[in-house]
Structure 1
């Protein structure tokens, strides 16, 4: 009997846990048996792995093979197990050959390299190593659990380059990976193969494309500067979708940490190898289900739209058509910045700190003037009834757009670049303020409310105004907190050190309580 080992990881949300793969060659009929809570996809990979080994002109054992993956209690899924399983079997074959020749097993260098390296990769039938999801979580797991290096497919080199502190090698074929493990070949570093992100084709949408609607564009600037949630109501053609689509153009680039988190989520969701450098913009159709919005699915739950929009914008157009249950599912992520999915006595957590933008018509006939509305009172009342009161209370701004605010020509309109400069300056002020206070907060909207009231209030007369609104019931406690956060954003845009009563008054106007009452009526 001969034993071979290799190491890889199993994904659990955006976390990766080390998995030790052992292959034993013993007496019995030829075949592979895989144990250790592996899913159907891993079990079905047996023929693919054997064919890849044969086409790589590497020796395949002609007896019974048992592959065990520990810890056995951890669910395992994904094609990235192909490469470590193949390497464990091949090293077991080497051990068997040495035993037949009277040797004492593999050399210490080979054993150490296999035990201190994580291997990830899907095998093609010709032995090529294909990109897989979850490389960044694997890198972080390697750092946390004492592994010295990783071997990954070339298609994952760009995302692996985001974590520069860990030696990451690229194997184009199974033969390359096996030769490196045996000390016979050298593998290139991922950093030398990482290609820069290609810009998207065509000109990016710009705020200067929108003629007029200056109040709405100002609200979008405030939302971008503070990461605030926004609901836009207005007739078709007023510019709601155009403003939302151009919101990413005025957001600052992602930091290295943010890019790392966003890239990891998109990789797990099925886009391995793609590096997310700009704020994501996710705009699902209004027929989206709760599982697609929040995440889920059988087996290993997949991240939903809220997680794909992490550190970016989630835009729900025609919000009146989105199922009420799906919209209510947004309440917890908006407060906590993450989604918790419970599956088979396991809890999977995906980050979901996104900026929510909703757009809707005022009613089904979409008449801007109520006098011209052809809807019945019941239809008009029920049109936005899917927006529950608790969800509306979590929106920082509610804005009504008018078709009369549009203009014929967009000549002289401010560009996204000019607005983005002001947004970046405001964010830098807020970041420096929260960092000086020892807080890892990227936006004013993400500031903990209790600390904001206690340590960062507005000026005294401004706080008295908020206290009066709270006492009369015009604002809830959450409404006060969100108004205060909005006031800080207005102060940052104005370059002032503390919100004044003018900033609080402007924040109350942007909250649009009168429009909220119309929606709730």
Structure 2
């Protein structure tokens, strides 16, 4: 049996308090005479323990209890080997509840939920509810000013504190409503090339102000993530097309324990360091260069390749047309089966490869005016099209205001995946993309014929094939899941068909989905 799945992560997964992991955060405490910046660090503790202490070694049980309950009730886990969270201030300077969010962040970083180092230059100010919600605190403007004075320009607060916090010059204010949103925020804002929006963009930027093609592409990424569908984005180098494709992995839900262990096993088989807990939390992403060989992509008898290292995550082909045709053909087979099978004179071996494809098409940048060369690139892209479910084109260069949208999208994606799992789990499937294509219309009690009338007409006119029909229905289930419906309606089917064909989905649908709150 092949080693189990997953792969290296461009957003490094924090090991369980391993020496190389920097699980640090900071907050500001307010006293009667001053505001202090307090560093919070995670250290190994006694097995299965969770302690919060200050610089003098005194225990803070109330902070510990709130953080513990918030983490557990958010469906997250503490470091399995035990953790001691240490605050750099003494008890006299630790008043109020503003430390809660930073303490939880340090613990989550140690447990592998946050990208390594993502909180180093961030101040977190907020109280935690026992259900994992982030609550406002008093005197937040003074605390933010102290954070900025200590070179912590990025400050995370509760939504109710945002307006007061934004009065501080030089502060980049972000809001999170829960610990789950904090995890999503950390993964999204650490994507290379994503600029942190200013406060006014983050809180007041409306969907209508985002270029239509960017809004459509974000919707396409969200649908692909929610249903496990393969994604194809087209755009030139001056557009954020690669960043948008990278966001697919950033908004995927955390890996469940079994999947996380499979991912860690594949890491280990490839000689890559794994967390001490042998569980990888962040869905992996692999982005091989177009010069990669068959062995680089598919592996060998010695170790798995990129597509297996992206098991339960994303395989990003940043310049899909530049890969040699044999890789495209092999990818189609592996993406359909979810398994890499390698043969040879000494026997065969197989590796898991249940990964999502994110392929990017960019215009040829060579200086030659060779029609044959352009035709070859087009033919290579066509080799992948049979497995692609979601298509979008990006021409705008603006990305302002997308962080908050994506944080909310990550919450919707997780809820949609749970809904799909409940529907299909008795058949052995967990996402809509895994469902055998001929079964997409069979989920009880069956789709209303009026909902699929437009799609039926396209198939009857032979505008789309039977396979395209089934893939569009699969997408319709995902669009439906994203807004919590029990089954797709005509609007969902229209949007899904547009995503499959690469046309823009109805603007009112894209806007309403993007503006929904988690």
TM category, shorter: 0.5 to 0.7
Partner of 2:390: 397
1:340/1:413 CA distance change after superposition, 3 Å: closer
Q: Write the deviation string for residues 30-78 of structure 1: whole angstroms up to 9, x where unpaired.
A: xxxxxxxxxxxxxxxxxxxxxxxxxxxxxxxxxxxxxxxxxxxxxxxxx
Partner of 2:38: none
C-alpha separation between the residues in 2 aligned to 1:514 and 1:253? 31
1:468/1:237 CA distance change after superposition, 3 Å: same
Q: Write the deviation string for residues 390-434 of structure 1: whole angstroms up to 9, x where unpaired.
A: x2021001211112xx43x72575343211111111111111112
1:230/1:239 CA distance change after superposition, 3 Å: same
Shift of 1:494: 1.8
Shift of 1:316: 0.5
The unaligned stretches of length 5 or more in structure 2 are: 5-47, 49-78, 84-109, 119-185, 198-209, 505-518
Is the 8 Å Cα contact of residues 221 and 247 (structure 2) preserved in structure 1? no
Partner of 2:298: 294
- Secondary structure, counterpart of 2:348 in structure 1: strand
1:215/1:388 CA distance change after superposition, 3 Å: closer
Which segments of structure 1 move beyond 6 Å, counting only runs of 4 or more?
A: none
Partner of 2:418: 428
When the two structures are aligned, how many residues end up with a matched partner? 316
Partner of 1:355: 356
Is the 8 Å Cα contact of residues 252 and 424 (structure 1) preserved in structure 2? yes
Shift of 1:362: 3.3
1:287/1:214 CA distance change after superposition, 3 Å: same
1:401/1:199 CA distance change after superposition, 3 Å: closer
Q: Write the deviation string for residues 260-311 of structure 1: whole angstroms up to 9, x where unpaired.
A: 2111111111125433111001111111112211122xxx342111110100
1:214/1:509 CA distance change after superposition, 3 Å: same
Instruction: Name the larger-Rg structure.
Output: 1
Is the 8 Å Cα contact of residues 364 and 375 (structure 1) preserved in structure 2? no
Is the 8 Å Cα contact of residues 314 and 355 (structure 1) preserved in structure 2? yes
1:294-313 matches, within 5 Å, as 294-296=298-300, 300-313=301-314
C-alpha separation between the residues in 1 aligned to 2:474 and 2:280? 28
Tell me if 1:449 matches 2:443: no
C-alpha separation between the residues in 1 aligned to 2:261 and 2:467? 31
Shift of 1:342: 1.2
Partner of 2:247: 246
Partner of 1:141: none
Moved more, 208-217 or 281-290: 208-217
C-alpha separation between the residues in 1 aligned to 2:307 and 2:361? 19
C-alpha separation between the residues in 2 aligned to 1:375 and 1:215? 32
1:105-116 matches, within 5 Å, as none
The unaligned stretches of length 5 or more in structure 1 are: 1-11, 16-160, 162-189, 367-373, 516-521
For CA contacts below 8 A with separation 6 or more, give which structure has more relative contact order. 2
1:304-383 matches, within 5 Å, as 304-344=305-345, 346-364=347-365, 375=369, 377-383=371-377
TM-score (norm 1): 0.55
C-alpha separation between the residues in 2 aligned to 1:482 and 1:416? 25
C-alpha separation between the residues in 2 aligned to 1:13 and 1:481? 31
Is the 8 Å Cα contact of residues 13 and 301 (structure 1) preserved in structure 2? no
Q: Write the deviation string for residues 435-469 of structure 1: whole angstroms up to 9, x where unpaired.
A: 3xx13322111112233233455321234433332
1:218/1:365 CA distance change after superposition, 3 Å: farther
Tell me if 1:200 matches 2:140: no
TM-score (norm 2): 0.56
1:511/1:363 CA distance change after superposition, 3 Å: farther
C-alpha separation between the residues in 1 aligned to 2:227 and 2:474? 8
C-alpha separation between the residues in 2 aligned to 1:321 and 1:498? 40
Is the 8 Å Cα contact of residues 393 and 502 (structure 2) preserved in structure 1? no
1:513/1:220 CA distance change after superposition, 3 Å: closer
2:281 to 263, 269, 277: 277
Partner of 2:381: 387
Is the 8 Å Cα contact of residues 363 and 375 (structure 1) preserved in structure 2? no
Is the 8 Å Cα contact of residues 205 and 245 (structure 1) preserved in structure 2? no
1:411/1:317 CA distance change after superposition, 3 Å: closer
1:492-507 matches, within 5 Å, as 492-507=481-496
Partner of 1:489: 478
1:379/1:342 CA distance change after superposition, 3 Å: closer
Is the 8 Å Cα contact of residues 228 and 356 (structure 2) preserved in structure 1? yes
1:181-220 matches, within 5 Å, as 196-197=111-112, 199-202=115-118, 204-206=187-189, 209=195, 212=211, 213-220=214-221
Is the 8 Å Cα contact of residues 14 and 264 (structure 1) preserved in structure 2? yes
C-alpha separation between the residues in 1 aligned to 2:321 and 2:436? 30
C-alpha separation between the residues in 1 aligned to 2:220 and 2:324? 26
1:474/1:301 CA distance change after superposition, 3 Å: farther
1:411/1:332 CA distance change after superposition, 3 Å: closer
1:294/1:452 CA distance change after superposition, 3 Å: same
Is the 8 Å Cα contact of residues 364 and 379 (structure 1) preserved in structure 2? no
Shift of 1:484: 1.0
C-alpha separation between the residues in 2 aligned to 1:386 and 1:513? 18
Shift of 1:376: 5.2
C-alpha separation between the residues in 1 aligned to 2:254 and 2:262? 14
Is the 8 Å Cα contact of residues 426 and 493 (structure 1) preserved in structure 2? yes
